[in-house]
Structure 1
Amino acid sequence: MVDVAREAGVALRTVSRVVNNDPTVGPEYVAKVEAAIAALNYRPDERARQLRTGVAGTIGAAVRRIAEVNPELAAIERTVRALGLTLLAASTDFDEARERDTLLSMCRQRLDGIIVEPFGENHGYLQPELEAGMPLVAMDRPMSGISVDCVMSDNASGIGMAFHHLYQHGHRRIAYIGDSERVFSGRERAAAFRAAMGAHGQPVEGLVHPGEITAERVAAALDTALHGADPATALVTGNMDTTLAVLRRLGSQAASRLAIVGFDEVPHADLLQPALTVVAQQTTKIGQTAVELLRARIADPARQVQTVIVPVALKVRGSGEVRA
């Protein structure tokens, strides 16, 4: 920086202000310093800046999956980039131990804050990090054992939309296959389905099937729901993975005869026959809101913890309109 100041003919303090994007520096001085930086091929020491300011300019995102489509993560990345920040993302791969290791590693790197798509059952181990000033925001579901800001979809409303849509098309035997109730969203969606059935005086016996999303478990649930003495004529699937597992098991011909509404968008859903009716989450809104909540928490660590519920929408395409 001394060399740059000498080259530009300005004070060392002026170079520092330009490097740190101080808006009060006059444009003529900015031009001189930038020309000197280019001439000398100067690169600021980012580690020294972080130590001095206590700001890394980097946000962490610990999400359940990176390898496949993750629209919330894409929205976070776009939002962070527009703010001139850097995103450090890691996949926890639905593994509680891996999630713990990833989050503690991110905390040790003293990032500005971390957005978490939580999976584990207890995040109390992060309480010391919160008390030390690490901002955390949960996305898609709350974190357990600690109190942090959260943004998630309106799970209950979405399941209610799916059930009522099928009911309006004449279906009375409607089955549900979803994620494990150990997972917050799986628990919320299964409970909402049971509540919708109860509100319409429908029995739940043999029709509600939450659990781990494996081919074997989904096949068993379909067999119970569709091949009993009083089989279901319609199906609500609790998330994208469940929907895909159901469609693979049924095959195109069987799926075309069954009314289906899925929770979550499914890639290329419009290519199916009939096209898949879904309850769509506002994934871009969720990702953007997660970043907004994190920045608000960074700016005011003492602010009240906030939970934002993002509305969902029913996208009618054909599969949910197959009549009983």
Structure 2
Amino acid sequence: MMARTGQDNGPSGGKRGKRPTMVDVAREAGVALRTVSRVVNQDPTVGADYAARVRAAIAALDFQPDERARQLRRGVSGTIGAAVRRIAEANPVLAAIETTARAAGLTLLASSTDDDETREREVVMSMCRRRLDGVIVDPIGDSHSYLKPELDAGTPIVAVDRPMAGVMVDSVMSDNAAGIGMAFRHLVQRGHRRIAYIGDHERVFTGRERAAAFRACLVAHGEPVEGLVYPGNIDRARIAKALETALHGPSPATALVTGNADTTTEVLRCLGERATRLAIVAFDDVPLADLLRPALTVVAQNTAELGGTAVELLRARIADPSRPVQNVTVPVSMIVRGSGELPA
């Protein structure tokens, strides 16, 4: 007969049942405590008969190993963190991080930084204090030197989508300059000369890099930069004003490149029906892009590779803390759907 290890009186009993321990399992199976520990930790050298008895006792008692104790013994938690700009909406890079982490047997804890430097620091430091095995960060702040003590203490950290300033960490990001060049040339080949750019604020690395790449494209094609480049906060009023200036000035633009998914969404809201008559290439794919008329042509990031590579870089850093810092650039691709093919 199986021994009872405690009493659960339920919500109304006012008493919490005692969880079965490895001592209870050892008593139930009639084996030494060390044997139970070896079975729980999947030691292949345990004899088949002993292993079967322990597993039967575990099932009978509904025993669940104390993960915290196991973590203390092994010195790892099996848990990694991800601090990303937003998780309250579709985030394909975070989804890829979670998929890759799960395949590697890791649990993911994620939190939003909401594009706020103070919030980012709070989130990342909270994850470090919890002694997670490592942290993946979608950086926002101008400097991450506050992480130097954590890095010196051996906390593995990887930057995704943009690098960190002030510290040397592994990173993975898209080829932003190549993507902007791809979008610009695509519109030039359709006869456009006045091409405007509306993007994210240049305090953000990706916003700064994409705006700079667009300016370089204009200069290389002998076009003036004045009146064609509009970086800034992703704010509807700001974007509406930029569109008005770019599309209704003395030399109006006939085509548009948008710098990221959030900017594209606001641009489409501001344009309304006018979007059907304006050639647009967006950096980043957006939900329902193929349902627009014309459907939206985009420079798509390989989000699966971005997220997956971030996890693999983190695992490599956990396995070998002394390995050289690695910076990976992931290629982008053009998805032609119609909006970028409208002629001048």
What TM-score do the two structures reach when normalised by structure 2? 0.91
Show the counterpart of 2:289: 269
One-letter amino acid of the counterpart of residue 291, structure 1: V
Show the counterpart of 2:130: 109
Cα deviation for residue 43 of structure 1 reads: 1.9
Task: For structure 1, list consecutive stretches of 5 or more residues without a partner in the other structure.
Answer: none
Cα deviation for residue 12 of structure 1 reads: 2.6
Show the counterpart of 2:54: 33
Any idea what SS the aligned residue of 1:62 has? Answer: strand
1: CA distance, partners of 2:196 / 2:103 = 43
Q: 1:92 to 1:12 in 2, by over 3 A?
A: same
Show the counterpart of 1:158: 179
**Aligned: 1:120 with 2:147:** no
2: CA distance, partners of 1:284 / 1:27 = 42
Show the counterpart of 1:176: 197
Cα deviation for residue 48 of structure 1 reads: 1.5
Show the counterpart of 2:107: 86
2: CA distance, partners of 1:23 / 1:315 = 50
One-letter amino acid of the counterpart of residue 304, structure 1: P
Q: How does 1:187-226 map to 2 (within 5 A)?
A: 187-226=208-247
Q: How does 1:53-92 map to 2 (within 5 A)?
A: 53-92=74-113
Greater CA drift, 146-155 or 80-89: 80-89
Cα deviation for residue 233 of structure 1 reads: 0.3
Show the counterpart of 1:250: 271
2: CA distance, partners of 1:296 / 1:142 = 18
One-letter amino acid of the counterpart of residue 103, structure 1: V
Q: 1:21 to 1:213 in 2, by over 3 A?
A: same
Cα deviation for residue 185 of structure 1 reads: 0.4
Cα deviation for residue 298 of structure 1 reads: 0.2
2: CA distance, partners of 1:195 / 1:27 = 69
Show the counterpart of 1:282: 302
Any idea what SS the aligned residue of 1:185 has? Answer: helix
Cα deviation for residue 167 of structure 1 reads: 0.3
Show the counterpart of 2:11: none
**Aligned: 1:46 with 2:46:** no
Show the counterpart of 2:326: 306
Q: Summarize deviations over 1:189-223 as a string: whole Å, max 9, x none.
A: 01111111111111111001111110111011111
Show the counterpart of 1:14: 35
Any idea what SS the aligned residue of 1:314 has? Answer: strand
One-letter amino acid of the counterpart of residue 288, structure 1: G
Q: 1:225 to 1:302 in 2, by over 3 A?
A: same
Q: 1:86 to 1:173 in 2, by over 3 A?
A: same
Cα deviation for residue 37 of structure 1 reads: 0.7
One-letter amino acid of the counterpart of residue 40, structure 2: V
Task: For structure 2, list consecutive stretches of 5 or more residues without a partner in the other structure.
Answer: 1-21
Cα deviation for residue 153 of structure 1 reads: 0.5
> Number of paired residues?
323
Q: Summarize deviations over 1:131-186 as a string: whole Å, max 9, x none.
A: 11110000000011111000111101100000000000000000000001110000
One-letter amino acid of the counterpart of residue 255, structure 1: A
Q: 1:210 to 1:24 in 2, by over 3 A?
A: farther
Greater CA drift, 5-14 or 83-92: 5-14
Question: Which is greater in Rg?
Answer: 2
One-letter amino acid of the counterpart of residue 125, structure 1: Y
**Aligned: 1:293 with 2:289:** no
